Each structure stands twice: as structure tokens, then as C-alpha cells.
Amino acid sequence: MSTDAVGRHVAFSTAEGLDPRDTNGQYDVYVLDRASGATRLLSARIDGAQGGNAWSRGPKISGDGRFVIFVSFASDLVAGDTNGGPDLFKFDLVTGVLSKVTFRPDGGPFVGHLRSYGLSDDGRVAVYGVLANPDQFGISPPLVGAYMFDAETQTTTSIRSGWVDLGSDGPFRPQYQVALDASGRFAITWAPQVPTHFHDLVSGSSREIAGPADIAALSDDGRSALVVEGGPVGPWRQLVVDTETGRAHPVEPDVEYASFEVERPRCVDADGTGRYVLLGYFRTSVDPIIGSGLQLVRYDTVRHSTVRVEALPNGDRMNKPECGQLTDDGRVAVLPDVDEQLLYAIDLG
């Protein structure tokens, strides 16, 4: 699920046939206009008759609400898709054009697992972190790293890739992930085994801004990076890093309550400037009625205050909230409840 800068358009995936043409029984990608209530199917096959021949998931919408990117295993969304694996697609909501954005830098067919991705507001630049298993896809060498696709020049460029020497454990290819700012100029890359880097995609320069990270996010203006340092088993340290000065400040939200045990964040997001950050923590409860799930909080990095996000205006709590997204001003969080199959837009003030 993803929302535009002001929270009007929400992109999401569902196996429910919300469009009369959607009879494929697969997950498909839609966009909801919260102002008009209209829902639009994006992952339709070339002839528009119905959804594609395989699932489509993980949509992300640009800040201006015009472009949506998503991952799909379908081979009939665009012509010539013969790689037999997932691809990243971009839909232009104004022109109605769907195009593929995943290509190898050497011009060969793209094959790989897409771990993370992002899109600039103007739709020109797409970035993605990819890991390919040569045994599964039958390719050598595998495509591993973070890459940028320029829709204007139709070129794919490596942002960060290569082997890392882990000493006694031998050489290793990190599973890089990547996040992009709204302009398409700045990006961050991270992995649990290597330092987090900040990249200027125009000049080609990069520099280290934090240690190895398990999860991270970049503000729309590119000035603030939210980094959860540490590998999958910890210990973890949450930081907001000023990408221009390199200064880092700890993020310490108040997340412990009732009988829940709080672990590291499972998902994070930042608003347009990085003042407000959204963090989702997995919670476990001894109460079988409450069960387990995500606890989402918004943290104010200036006032160092915490607001619980899953609390609804009427005082109820969402049953099982999933990772959500903040609007650019940080006032509204848009997130789904997987139990109720509903989308909520919560005004946090």
C-alpha cells in the first residue's frame, strides 16, 4: 500500500475483484481516489480484458499521484515480456500507459528478486535493489545490487554492487536495498553486512552515512535518512541522519505498553522533510484475544514525542494494522487493516 504526498490517491493490491474485468483470481494492483471514491485497475493485460496471468503486488505511488510502480510475475502486461520472472512496471495514470522499467545494464533480459524499489515524482527515475539466484533463473553471473533506470534515456546504471570480503567467511555479495527521494537525484543504499551509503545520482558521488542496516527510509527532500542500524538479530539502533552534514540523532519512541514485547522496527517511513517518522514494531501478547501484530507509532524528531497510529478516532484499535505511509506533512497516516480488509487514513494532528 502507498499514498501520494497529500493522501488523496492510495495504491494497493488485493485478490478481490474490484473491477468487473478482474476475474483472474490473482492479486492485482488498484488505485483509489479518496476524493471521488473511484477505484482503477492498473495491472490489466495488454488487451485490457482482465487482470494479468499472474499476481501483481507491492505498489508505490509518486508524490504527485500520477505514477505507480509495482512488481508483477505476469507476462502479458506488456509486449515482449519473456524473462519468466518478476518485473517492475510503471503505470501513468494520466496517459494510461503501462511500461516495464527493469532491464539489465548490459541490455540482457532482467531476472531477479526485487527487494526494494522507488520512483521519482516525475516518473523518470526508478531505482531497485535486486538479488538473482542463478540456480533458479539459469543465469550467470547473477544480477545483484542496487540499480537506477532512466526512462528518458532508457538506460540502466549500477548504483552499488560488488563483492564484500568478510574475512574468514570469505567473499559475499550483499543484498542491497535502496530508497529514492522525490526528485530522483538522491538515494540511499543499505544491507546488514555493509555501511549505509548516500548517493548523488547526478554527480555519481557517494559517501557513508551510517553503519550496516536492516531497514531504512529517505525523506522526500533527500535531507533525512531514517536508518535502523544492525542486522536481522540485532542489536539495533535507530537514527535520523542529516544527509548533508552527516549528523545523526537517535530515534527513541515510547513503544512499550501493556503486555507487549517490542522488537526492532519491521517497517519505517519518513515524511517530506524527515521531521516525522513512522515505525512499525512487531508485538507479541500473552492474551490470545489480542494476539500478535504490528504496533505503529509516529515519532516527532524535533519534540521527541510519540503518537500511536493504530488508535482510531472513536477510541477503538485496529485489529491487525499493516505497514503504512505518512503524507508529506506528517499529519496523516494511511494504512491497511488486514483483518478487516479496510484502508484507514488517520489524522494525527
DSSP assignments along 55-95, one per residue: -EEEEEE-TTSSEEEEEE--SSSSTT--SSS-EEEEEETTT
Q: Which amino acid is at 124?
A: R
C-alpha pair distances (Å), 102 with each of 82, 154, 155, 260 = 13, 10, 10, 41
C-alpha pair distances (Å), 138 with each of 37, 100, 311 = 45, 21, 48
pLDDT at position 254: 78
Sheet of strand 261-270, all strands in order from the earlier edge strand to the far edge: 261-270, 276-284, 293-300, 305-308
pLDDT at position 338: 65
Last residue of a domain, one of 254, 273, 301: 254
E strand or H helix that includes residue 188: strand 186-191
114 and 238 both lie in a single domain: yes
| CATH number of the domain where residue 25 is located | 2.120.10.30
And the C-alpha cell for 317? Answer: 484499535
Domain count, the chain: 2
Last residue of a domain, one of 222, 254, 286: 254
259 and 215 both lie in a single domain: no
Please tell me what DSSP assigns to residue 112.
S
pLDDT at position 144: 77
pLDDT digits (tens), the chain, 349 positions: 899 999 999 999 999 889 998 999 999 999 999 999 999 999 999 888 888 999 999 999 999 999 999 999 999 999 988 888 889 999 999 999 999 999 888 877 787 788 899 999 999 999 999 876 555 545 555 567 899 999 999 999 999 987 666 565 556 667 889 999 999 999 999 998 889 999 999 999 999 999 999 899 999 999 999 999 986 666 788 999 999 999 999 998 876 644 445 567 888 999 999 999 999 887 665 555 445 567 788 999 999 999 888 666 555 666 667 788 999 999 999 888 765 567 788 888 8
Say whether 327 sits in a helix, a strand or coil: coil
184 and 303 both lie in a single domain: no
Last residue of a domain, one of 254, 276, 311: 254
pLDDT single digits (tens) 216-258: 999 999 999 999 998 666 678 899 999 999 999 999 887 664 4
Say whether 332 sits in a helix, a strand or coil: strand
199 and 323 both lie in a single domain: no
Query: Domain residues for 210?
Result: 2-254
Rounded CA-CA distance 296/238 in Å is: 15
190 and 273 both lie in a single domain: no
146 and 220 both lie in a single domain: yes
pLDDT single digits (tens) 9-34: 999 999 988 999 899 999 999 999 99
Q: Name the CA radius of gyration of the chain, rounded.
A: 20
Rounded CA-CA distance 75/87 in Å is: 9
pLDDT at position 259: 42
- Other Cβ atoms less than 10 A from the Cβ of 161: the count is 17
Q: Long-range contacts made by residues 248-256, C-beta under 8 angstroms, separation at least 24? A: 248/209, 248/210, 249/301, 251/226, 251/277, 251/279, 251/299, 251/301, 252/304, 253/279, 253/297, 253/299, 253/306, 254/297, 254/306, 255/279, 255/281, 255/295, 255/297, 255/306
259 and 248 both lie in a single domain: no
123 and 240 both lie in a single domain: yes
244 and 291 both lie in a single domain: no
106 and 148 both lie in a single domain: yes
Max Cα–Cα distance, the chain, nearest Å: 59
Are 255 and 281 in contact by the 8 Å Cβ rule? The answer is: yes
110 and 215 both lie in a single domain: yes
Are 215 and 178 in contact by the 8 Å Cβ rule? The answer is: no
93 and 193 both lie in a single domain: yes
